[in-house]
């Protein structure tokens, strides 16, 4: 049987669940800490990455660069470099969704503070500003008026990281106080949950409440289309229920967390992920 | 094993593995299991949350 490598930089419940499922499937599992792994251009010897790797780093850039190295070494990786690159950047991801005809909130891109201010003034408030890189709702802020916009521009001017000069602003979608997270494996929806919150953000990392969501035909079909739009693999597709337009996909996540949903899901999520990896190298 | 910061007992589970994060129940400091050889465990300071961390 093929051997699966789980690449991590912080061994979380999810990675241990994947290891356990691999073991129960009778598959040898190589646990690889990206932080202590060395790779060079001249030799493949002495590095065991199995026959297929599941990239599970919590640090996006570490995982992306590690994926590039694995592909250089001809190790198939889930998700592959192209998918990780798209999903790790909200602007790239939104552009890909829209281009593929997946319903997504209206989003405004600008490349300087002045242009963003102008863009917001023309569009009107409220808006939501999100950093193009980052997760768990970090840096996602509602902009309800010009004063809030000015404050954000001032903060961005002080921090002035390379991505602070890229402005990604989105319409504020009128939705119930929840969103929907669908886990897709090879394009197939395997589990879904509502993430409820009384606040502006629904991320479970911020104490959003998970609740099992039935995968309707509409939810499943949209999740599949969103997965295909970014290149497939193992993904977390986030949707909002807009009052007038129905479901809108606002995010597709590359290294999806699943320990919360796994407790209530009917399907064995980590098993589906390991099987998908094994099937990829069996073909 | 005790916390390198505050000396409280860390209560590391026997099935804890290399790479796993252990949080001190008293002071809240996070440590990563750097090496584990039977009952011999080596800890290092866990990385702090980075701007690019997440899903």
Q: Which of B18, B51, B53 sits opposite A33 (nearest CB)?
A: B18
pTM to 2 decimal places: 0.93
Quick check: B52 contacting A, CB < 8 Å?
Answer: yes
Q: Find the Cα–Cα–Cα–Cα dihedral A167, A173, A175, A177, rounded to 10°.
A: 30
ipTM above 0.90, yes or no: no
Burial of A131 (0-12, 13-18, 19+ CB in 10 A): buried
Question: Each residue of A81-95: pLDDT tens digit?
Answer: 999 999 999 999 999
Nearest CA in chain B to A205: B54
What percent of chain A lies above the pLDDT cut of 90?
85
Q: What are the distances in angstroms from CA A137 to CA A56, A124, A211, B37, B52?
A: 19, 23, 19, 38, 12
Q: Which of A11, A161, A205 sits opposite B19 (nearest CB)?
A: A11
- pLDDT computed for residue A46 by the predictor: 74
Nearest CA in chain B to A206: B54
Closest CA–CA distance from residue B47 to any residue of chain A (Å): 9
Closest CA–CA distance from residue A122 to any residue of chain B (Å): 30
Chain B residues touching A89 at Cβ < 8 A: none
CA distance A280 to A145: 49
Question: Each residue of A216-257: pLDDT tens digit?
Answer: 999 999 999 999 999 999 999 999 999 999 999 999 999 999
Chain A residues touching B21 at Cβ < 8 A: 10-12
């Amino acid at each position: 049987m093929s051997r699966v490598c789980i690449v991590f930089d912080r061994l979380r419940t999810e990675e241990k669940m994947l290891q356990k499922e691999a073991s129960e499937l009778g598959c040898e599992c190589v646990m690889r800490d990206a932080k202590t792994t060395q790779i060079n251009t001249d030799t493949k010897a002495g590095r065991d990455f199995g026959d297929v790797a599941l990239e599970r780093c919590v640090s996006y850039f570490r995982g992306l660069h590690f994926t590039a190295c694995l592909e250089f070494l001809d190790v198939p990786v889930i998700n592959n470099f192209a998918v990780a690159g798209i999903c790790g950047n909200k602007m790239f991801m939104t552009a890909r969704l829209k281009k593929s005809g997946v319903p997504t909130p209206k989003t405004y891109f600008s490349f300087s503070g002045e242009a963003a201010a102008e863009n917001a003034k023309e569009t009107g408030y409220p808006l939501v500003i999100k950093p193009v890189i980052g997760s768990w709702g970090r840096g996602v802020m509602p902009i309800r008026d010009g004063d809030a916009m000015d404050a954000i521009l001032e903060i961005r001017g002080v921090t002035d990281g390379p991505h602070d000069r890229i402005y990604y602003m989105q319409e504020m979608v009128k939705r119930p106080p929840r969103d929907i997270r669908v886990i897709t494996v090879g394009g197939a929806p395997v589990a879904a949950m509502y993430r409820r919150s009384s606040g502006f953000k629904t991320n479970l990392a911020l104490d959003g409440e998970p609740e099992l969501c039935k995968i309707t035909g509409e939810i499943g079909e949209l999740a599949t289309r969103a997965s295909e739009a970014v290149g497939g693999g193992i993904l977390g597709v986030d949707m909002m229920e807009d009052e007038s337009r129905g479901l809108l996909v606002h995010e597709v996540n590359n290294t999806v967390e699943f320990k919360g949903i796994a407790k209530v899901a009917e399907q064995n999520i980590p098993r589906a992920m390991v099987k998908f990896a094994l099937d990829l190298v069996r073909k | 094993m005790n916390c390198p910061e505050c000396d409280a007992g860390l209560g590391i589970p026997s099935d804890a593995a290399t790479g796993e994060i252990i949080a001190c129940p008293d002071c809240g400091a996070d440590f990563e299991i750097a090496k584990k050889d039977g009952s011999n465990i080596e800890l290092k300071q866990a990385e702090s949350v980075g701007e690019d961390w997440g899903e």
